Every structure is written in structure tokens, then in C-alpha cells.
Amino acid sequence: MNVELSMWVEISVAILLVASSVFALLGAIGLVRLKDYFQRMHPPALASTLGAWCVALASIIYFSAIKSGPVLHAWLIPILLSITVPVTTLLLARAALFRKRMAGDDVPAEVSSRGNEPN
């Protein structure tokens, strides 16, 4: 299938894909450079979410230009990532904090689920 795309479509798709790779690179650099597990969790989580949004937008632009109509099903991937990545990050942080508490490391005190009730 030989379809001529507009120069603006090609440029915008290329910019979005390069931006996605920059986010991935920044996430990898943050993963390597930060010293603590809890600090290392954030850059890859944020970078993967932003990178997925850029790739999905590039996909939407490219396939909408080819089909001459809106193709929006690519939004499902970043929407699901935006929901699941923060939940996964929170669960990993809680598991790591629990392991540190069990090992006797100096960590913040456990927060009561009841709040501040009078004795």
C-alpha cells in the first residue's frame, strides 16, 4: 500500500517518537544515577507513562492520516498504563518498605489506618 503522507504528518510523528525515546532515556538515566530504591522508582514510571502517550499520539496521527479518518483505539494503551503504573509503583514501594521494616532498618513509622483517636 503506497500512501503519500503530508510532510507535517511525518514531522509530527517523528517528533513524537523522538520525544518518547528521550523520555525513555531520561528514565534509564534516573534509574542508574539515583542511589535509593525509593528514588529509583519514579523516573522509569513517569518516563514510561509519558513515552507511551507520545507513541500513542504518533500512532493516532499516522494511522488517521493513512485512513483519512480518526483512529483512536491506540488511546487504550496509555490510558491503561496511566491507571496501572501508579498503582504498581505504590504496591512496590509498600512491599519494599515492609521488607526494610522486617530487616530492622531505620524507616518512617507505620501510619495507623484509624487516624488519631483519643485513648
Classify residue 18: in a domain, yes or no. yes
On whether residue 117 sits in a domain, the answer given is: no
Q: Is 16 exposed, middle or buried (0-12, 13-18, 19+ CB in 10 A)?
A: buried
Residue 97 located in a structural domain: yes
**Range of the structural domain that residue 98 is part of:** 7-103
Residue 115 forms part of a structural domain? no
How confident is the prediction along the chain (119 residues), in pLDDT tens digits per residue? 446 778 899 999 999 999 999 999 999 998 899 888 888 888 888 888 899 999 999 999 999 998 888 888 888 988 888 888 888 888 998 899 889 888 888 877 777 666 555 55
DSSP 104: T
Q: Give the total number of structural domains in the chain.
A: 1
**pTM summary value:** 0.75
